[in-house]
Structure 1
Amino acid sequence: MSKRRRKKQTRSLQGIIIALIVIVGGWLISGGQPSDISNFIQNISQNTLNHTKNVSSNDELAKLNYHSGDQSFIYVNHNKANLDPAKWKINEVRYANLDSLNRTSRGNLAYLESRNLASDENRVRQYVEPTAWHQKFVDRQPIINRGHLIAYSISKGISSDGRYNPRDSSGDQNNPKNLFTQTAFSNQRVQTIYEQKIRDSLKAGKRVIFYSKPIFRDNELMARGIHLEALSTDKSLNFNVYLFNVQPNVKFDYATGRSTIDRSMKVPEP
């Protein structure tokens, strides 16, 4: 073994040892017990892996299974969007047609700017029922929502054909090409985080490309999750994530969308 290679391995080993000392020291200072340190390190490793899986295709995303206690989302492509800012030409949304099972499985692509920011005052009652729509209340709360691929709040003036109409002061609402059955947790606790990032970027005058695609496994009618990518033309906004379509205390049959109460299903806050 060469001296250079031996030195590099020595430095790597030293780095690992220092990191472990810092972790253990922090744990003990915060009141942790020595007997619990292995579980503490294991939890850190699991959380890191959950957030940094490098998935390269939608086919791979469809194969992922969620396990109780896992994080509700993962990064795709190291959280870097596979979008080209040079493709932003006009303010529009490209709504894909429904597939043969009436699902929004092909994804929608939006080219957004600040004039697309919508207020809540023009919201109307939603009546479209996407595939796998079987509403249920658990602990008096609905477990599913009509999830928008392109959020109402960032689609002001966009008509159902995807073109911008300055006379339309509303965002997208009852458009079957823009809806899927999404759990309340995934929609309200997780996806809204990323939609807020887009809203903040638009408020700052940036132009944003946003791609949103529900991920279905084979012929299942309920999406296993949703893949979100966004990139501003100046690249200050850049994310690429997959959100699991899961709900605490509920187990879903993704083939049909029907559900059963399962108190062992735990989904941590993002």
Structure 2
Amino acid sequence: MARKRTYTRKRQPQNKILSLLIIVLVAGFYLWQNQQQSHTPTEKTSRTTVNAPNDQALLNLKWDGTLDGDIVHVNNNKATFSETEMADTFPSHASKLRPIDGLSLSPLDSLGRSQQANFVASQSAISKVTKRPSRMPYDVRPSGWFIGDRFDGTKWVGGYHNNPNVKLGNSKQPLWNKSHIVGYQFFGMATMVTENMTTGTRVENAYPGQLVAEDDIRDAIEQNPKLTVRGQVTPLYVGNERIPRGVHYMAKSISDDGKSLNLNYWIFNVQPGVKIDYATGKVTILESAK
């Protein structure tokens, strides 16, 4: 008589289930950790602080030769606007210098150089900004952008442009930028004019440069969309030089008298490994920047 076979149902190995559960938990933990890190503000770079009662004192400052040293905090990093200046709103005059509510540009000086700009940044203005063009208009031409040119009383003519690639970080980038005095991100196409441009190094413009102040303003407004910020940016020149030695950038939140934002930066127009002739725009590139 044949022996009756018995069959035992195979059980799913518990160790496989446990391993899968561990993988899911670990993946979930790392996802949560990354989300937390993305919302954690990074520690700000420590900046040198100086007292500078006037423009000449800013021009007398010496750059320490480092990228972080490109920005200096002035007067304890507190803007020095008067009550009258804080009350300015700069309504549009439908003109080149007052093209849009909140933005006021200055005419070029007698030497064809861009001057101080004032503004009030707001979520309302930022929300109207369109995508930035990939190229700057050719006729937007600040002093020093060309070498050997001349100012005819209205615009710069003649000369030639020289923009060498220089080492910056782990790559090479063009040395010169058409640097917005008031950033495009605040008022869009109204900022794309010669009166709102300087010839600035890549470091002065955005590495770290003026982009630091602009991002400070935008971050404050993103955190509080009802906030408005009073800003002022002043390029400073030595004598008859065509290229500014730097820009003085102040900004202060209006409604809470600077509690959300209050900054006072001097930003050097410099580049590591490059010697600049601010009178002509000619440069000498050292081995460290080649």
Provide TM-score, normalisation by structure 2.
0.64
Percent identical pairs in the alignment equals 32
Question: How big is the shift at 1:130?
Answer: 1.2
SS at match of 2:178: strand
One-letter amino acid matched to 2:274: V
1:64 maps to what in 2? 61
One-letter amino acid matched to 2:70: S
CA contact (8 A) 1:145 1:187 kept: yes
Correspondence 1:132 to 2:130 = no
1:12 maps to what in 2? none
1:258 maps to what in 2? 282
Match of 1:231 among 252, 256, 262: 252
Question: How big is the shift at 1:67?
Answer: 4.1
CA contact (8 A) 1:68 1:264 kept: no
CA contact (8 A) 2:51 2:74 kept: yes
CA contact (8 A) 2:77 2:262 kept: yes
Distance 2:240 2:90 in 1: 35
Specify which structure has the bigger relative contact order, considering alpha-carbon pairs within 8 angstroms and separated by 6 or more residues.
Answer: 1
Provide TM-score, normalisation by structure 1.
0.69
Question: How big is the shift at 1:112?
Answer: 2.2
Correspondence 1:178 to 2:196 = yes
One-letter amino acid matched to 1:232: S
Distance 1:261 1:142 in 2: 12
Question: How big is the shift at 1:60?
Answer: 1.4
1:115 maps to what in 2? 124
One-letter amino acid matched to 1:181: T
CA contact (8 A) 2:246 2:267 kept: yes
Correspondence 1:77 to 2:75 = yes
Question: How big is the shift at 1:120?
Answer: 6.0
Match of 1:148 among 180, 186, 191: 180
Question: How big is the shift at 1:187?
Answer: 1.0
**Alpha-carbon distance change, 242 to 224 in structure 1, aligned in 2, over 3 angstroms:** same
- Map 1:188-207; keep pairs closer than 5 Å: 188-190=206-208, 191-203=210-222, 204-205=224-225, 206-207=227-228
Distance 1:121 1:232 in 2: 26
SS at match of 2:113: coil
**Alpha-carbon distance change, 52 to 193 in structure 1, aligned in 2, over 3 angstroms:** same
Distance 1:132 1:61 in 2: 21
Question: How big is the shift at 1:116?
Answer: 1.9
In the comparison of the two structures, how many residue pairs are matched?
203
Larger radius of gyration: 2
Question: How big is the shift at 1:260?
Answer: 1.1
One-letter amino acid matched to 1:86: A
Question: How big is the shift at 1:77?
Answer: 1.5
Match of 2:106 among 91, 96, 114: 96
Instruction: State the Cα RMSD in Å.
Output: 2.2
CA contact (8 A) 2:132 2:184 kept: no
One-letter amino acid matched to 1:229: M
CA contact (8 A) 1:63 1:217 kept: no
SS at match of 2:211: helix
Question: How big is the shift at 1:68?
Answer: 2.5
Distance 1:109 1:86 in 2: 12
**Alpha-carbon distance change, 122 to 183 in structure 1, aligned in 2, over 3 angstroms:** closer
Most deviating of 193-202 and 86-95: 86-95
* Structure 2 unaligned residues grouped into runs of 5+: 1-44, 92-100, 146-161
* Structure 1 unaligned residues grouped into runs of 5+: 1-46, 157-169, 266-270
Question: How big is the shift at 1:63?
Answer: 2.4
